[in-house]
Each structure stands twice: as C-alpha cells, then as structure tokens.
Structure 1
Amino acid sequence: MAKTILKSVLHQGNLCDILISNKRFAKIGGLTPKDFEKAKVVDCSGLAILPPFYNGHCHAAMTLLRGYADDMPLQEWLQNHIWPFEGKMKPKDIEIGSRLAVLEMIKSGTVFFADMYWHREQTMKVVKEMGIRATIGVTFAEGLVSEEAIDANFKFVQDHRFESDRVKLAVMPHSPYMVGEKLFKRCVKVARQEEMILHTHLAETKKEVLDCKKANGCTPVELMDRYGVLGGDFVAAHCVHLSKSDMELMADSSSAIILNPCSNLKLNSGIPKIPQLLDAGILLGIGTDGASSNNNLDMHEDMKFAALLAKASGRADTLPADEVLKMASFNTAVAYGVEGGLVKEGFLADAILVDLKNERLNPCHNLVSNWVYGADSSAIHSVICNGEFVMENRHVDGEEDIVREAELCAKRLA
C-alpha cells in the first residue's frame, strides 16, 4: 500500500507529520517509526496545509472563449456570441479547452469541479489523465440537440460510461427555460434510478424569473418543486433571485445552491441574497461558472467575493473567513457526495500546501483570514488530490504544452 508522509507541515497552528495512506488522511500527528516504513517522505518545512477548492459549477472548455465577448447582457452574450462560437467546436477542441481549464484549476488550488458542457467524454479523459476529481454532466437542452441525441444521452447515463473513483456522471438539464416539463421529469427519474446528482441553472436573472411566472404562474424554484426535482441530490447553480418562500422550499428539501458571484456581477445578473440564504439553512457552495463570463476559474476570487458581498448586504461578521473557506471546500464536496474538503483523519487526501513565506501571508496573525482575504494563488506551493501530488513546487507536468495548444486552438476557432 502506497504511503506518503507530509513531514513538519503546519496544520491548524501546530507543526506535525501527516500520514496519507489508501488515498486518505490516515494519521494527523502521533506517527510512529512503523508509519515511516516504505513511505515517501515529503519535507513540508515552511508550508501549511489547507483544504483545497471544490468548484461547484463551471463549463470547463469555455476557457477557449475567455475574453471573446465581454461587457454585455446575458441573453445577448449567449445568443449572439457564445452559442455561435460553440457551434464550431469539435470534440478535440473540447479536450484542449478542458485541459487548459484543469491546468488553471490545479494551479489555483482546485481539485474538483462540476462541469456542464458538451462532448463529456473528452473532459472525462482529461480529468483522469491530470489526476483531479470531477462530476461531469450529461447535458440536456431542447432545441439544441435531436431526440435521438437525447435518447443517447440517457443511454450514456444508464451505462455509467467512463466513470471511475475520481470521475462521476451527473444528469444536468440546462435550465427550466431550455428543458420542458416532460424532459425535466425524465431527467429526474433517471438520475434517481442511477443515484446521480441533478444539476441545473436556476433563477440566474430577473428575466428568467419573470418569464417563468408568465409562462407557468410560479417561480423557477416552485416549478422545480412541481416537477419533483427538489431533494438532497439536487444542486442548483446561481439562485440569485429567490423569494423567501423559494428559500424555504430549497432548505426544507435539503437542496443545495452553488453561488457564482463573480460571473453574476460581470453579467449584471444580480447579487445573491447570501445572508438570507444562510439564515434559511440552505447548503451553500461556490463555483466559478465558465471562463467566458468570469473570466477565470480561480475559486479563491469567488470565495473572497462571496464573503465581501455577504458583508455588504449583511453585517461585518456575516460569513467569516473560516465559514466561507468551508463553503468553497467542504460544503461543495458534500453537495456532490465527495468525502473531502477537510484535512481530517478518514477524509480523502485532497489538500493544498501554501508557502508561509509568501508576502500575502505575512504577518501571520491568522492563517485562514490571510488566505481568504489577503492571499491569492501565488501562495500555493503544491496541490494534492487523492493522495497524489498534481502540482509540486508550483509546477504541473506539461503545462507549457497545454497553454500553447490552447492558444493555437482558440485562434483557429475565433
């Protein structure tokens, strides 16, 4: 059994040795000479261990559209720019864009992402090769694909194609405005038969809410309740425009919400009511959305924005540093059924190592506060996923080739 020992690492204010065995944190402190036998020992002097990020909502291959169309409303952005560009993308382009996305996520401390996009086989391949985790969506959107393609999507789900211990499938109807009642209910039925996560965009804009009320006589959340979607396996992205009763429905059903504050601000979609969502007791995670609307996949930025926006509409003590870090790590892991997000015995061995000499972590009165409010990805020294280093001393294998190939691909598509 492969073992790794992180020697002399700072954990919760104390220097200790940490044993990783069987892809999990086996011991934190109290190691014996027997634990060191046949173990790979990594000197972590000057480094602290923290939970990594779990990106609860993104569109990975959209890294190829970074900066392609900016500074315009959501519907104009989608219909006149993004969708025409995406129509030219082939499976190999999805692979190239996803590889760039995973590189960016690793270098900014993310070890898991939930992806809603097309040609999911390509993204699954990249995730497996680059060593992190993902929940990859089988995406449904009426009007964009044929009935035959929809049936093929359900077959893909039911066969659990290309899944592994690090890569899982989820059923992802795009949104209530792109998936009708019949197909949405079919998605719910199949997801629950296969014990998979259900994920969709929900109440992202005021227009979406107004259109839903006009067409259905209810809010998007109420529509999801009507369709039987809400539940502990349902994860909704955005949820910017929720009423008090919407929040109660989400909380009472144990549904989860993934906040995407940077994307929402950039697209002028609105500001999520974070204090009220917290008060309602809803499980809240954080995501980046796509790199074409953020314009990066750096979870640290979305974590800090979530904390600041919560304070702006709440109080100075709303969503403190330790809680927003938990939201960006443990909460999102819980939403997707991943036993990670905490550096704790028995949990999956996912972590980041930060450089305590980094200027943004000094002086270090409080490491977590420094990490949330003061630092950025430049402080990350190494990244561990599933007990393996996916970035060591700020380097990811093949990163130069990944960037070069993505640059050439984007120029060809533009």
Structure 2
Amino acid sequence: MSVTATPIELEDVHGAHNYHPLPVTVSHGEGAWVWDDEGHRYLDFLAAYSALNFGHRHPDLVRAAHEQLDRLTLTSRAFHHDLLGPFCAELAELAGKEMVLPMNSGAEAVETALKVARRWGYEVKGVPDEQATVVVMDGNFHGRTISIISFSGDPVAHDHYGPYTPGFRVVGYGDAAALESAIDETTVAVLVEPVQGEAGVVLPPEGYLAEVRRICTEHRVLMVADEVQSGLGRTGETFACDLEGVVPDVYVLGKALGGGIVPLSAVVADGDVLGVLDPGSHGSTFGGNALAVAVGREVIRLLATGEPQQRARDLEPVLRDGLAPLLGHGLVGLRVRGLWAGLDLDPALGTGRDLCEALVGRGVLVKDTHGSTIRVSPPLTIDRADLEWGLEQVRGAVGDLVAAAG
C-alpha cells in the first residue's frame, strides 16, 4: 500500500489487529483536549485509562522531559545515574514505604510483584519450593502476559494462549469469606484491585479492603494492591486503598506515574518484602531509566501537593450528578469514585461501542469495555466547565439512542 494512504489505512494493513480503535486519528493534544489530523477537536474523557491523569503535555512534565533529554536518557542498571536514588526515595515517601523497584509497564510491575511474593513465600514464610499460591479476584485485569492471563476470566484475553501458569486461585471480588477460605499454608499473596477498572469501574463493598487487610495479616499473606489504574489521584486519594485507610504490603503502580509521556511503573514495599531480591534475580534494561524517572519525580511532586487528589474529590459530585439522571433512562448501572465512572448502557439500546461512536460525533472520546459498559476518566486537570460540557454530550448521546429505540 502506498505511504500516501491515510494513517488508519496503513495501520489496518501493516499493524496487528489486537485493538479496535475508534475512527479518530489524534495528532496533538493540550490539557483535556485533543485534535485529529483534520483539525477537529475532541474532549478526552478517557485519559489513556488514567495514564494521562495530568492531561496532555502538562507544562511541568514536558519541561522535566525536555531538560532530561538534553542531559541523559539511559544508562541501564549496569551503572548508577543521578536521578534513580532520589526518585526511589521520593516515591517511597509518597507511599509510606521503604523501597521501590522501578519497571516500565503495569503488566511488568504486576509480574514483578508476583515474583517477589513467591520468593518471599519461599525464603521468609517457608512455603515448600514450587508450591506457592496466590489468590486473585474474578473480573480482574492485571495485564496481558502469559502468567497474568492464566488467571483471567475474560475469554478474549485468556483463550488460546495455553498452557497456562499454575499457582493461582480465583475467588469472587468483594467476597471476603471466599477469600479467607481460599487461603492455606501455601498462600503467599492476595492480588487485588481496589477498584476494578477494566471490568467497568467496579467498586468493592464497603469495608471489603479492610477485610482483605485483616485476612492477610492474620494468615501471614502479602496484600498486593494493583493501583495501576486506581492510584495516583484518580479516586480522590493518592491511592484507592486510602479510601478505607488500608495500607497494603505491596503497591503496584504504573500509567500516571509516567505522566503520559513515558512508560514508568513500580513495585513499592518495605525492605522485608523487596529485600528478598539480590543482584541478578530480577531486572530490566529500561527500568528506572533517567528520562522516565525525571518525569516520574515531577509526577510525585505534583501529587505531594495534594491538589490533583483534591480536584478529583471536588469534581466527583459534578460527575455523579451529571450522569445520575440517565439511570433508568438509558443507563442500567452507574458507578462513580473520584473522577472515574463506569456506565452500563441498556443493551436494548445498543452496545458500548455504539455509544462511543455516537460521542465521537459529539466531540467526546471514551472507550467501551465488556459489551455495554463504558468508562469515563477525564484528566484530573479538566476544567469544571469542560467536564459539564462533556457530560451534556453523554446525556445527549444516550438520549439519542433512547429516541432511536422508540
């Protein structure tokens, strides 16, 4: 195909079809807004699944990246560089922990946490070798590596990739009794999303995270909180676990940590957990690279002010009030936590994809998940007026589907 073809046509022919994007080709962005290659403007109501918590091209983050590009981008961990130590110290302080292991993607960080938990189980807890088990939740989404999809209940992510990694037990999300029943002397960790993002912003029952914490403590099991989507301000707190005053043994972070500029993830825990690693037992060429942690340090600085978290708290009622009138009038379900919402469209009106495509025509970008559900997660920096305008478009698009259904 000629290179004069459109970007979408070239991607369709030469790119693997592992995504089904909406027919919009974004060329640049600023704050909560993006423009396509034909000059049309759209309100970004997805924020790259929380990777863009601070919006597109946040000036402080762009400045940090530019300054670092002029100095140093990568050494690998074969040598020290002057930003890694400060980054680890600052992120540890933000999380109230002692140690940080930087990686790149969220899935890498989850895999790292699983490896650390198993090693901790063998070397500290005394689980017999090769027998460690980890309890996970139905409806989970932790990434797409072989081990992670081995315990996924989503057939699209799971099927036809076997043989699968053993050692995982799946229990119902929100069912503390089932969780406790699944734990035995081989259990080394419980892996839980404080809010299940990919599942549609599924909220746990009140008090559930505190029960998970209690169970893990009583059974000497690591509580591993996957805060890749829910963390770093999205829910109105630095971590979603903070909403219940819960402190896990291990935080898994990603997405927003890289400021929407570079991939950056991390496992954060105390020394009695991360201290089980020694030289050569784990690593990553790009993990903790100078460019990424320069941006990450600026993200930490922004979060340390508390302003992004407060903004999510302040805008939560605006988000809820803007969507609540649709319940029973096109929506059959609605869940809101901070500046994050899951909307369940009445299947009789169409699919989530139908609603997303209708919103493209109204200048708003969102993405569907699991059939009839869409997620709303605009940048935490969004202006209230822009948020209200976007919600007006959602109400209009749902209203159009209701009218078309008769």
TM (norm. structure 2) is 0.28
Task: State TM-score, norm by structure 1.
Answer: 0.28
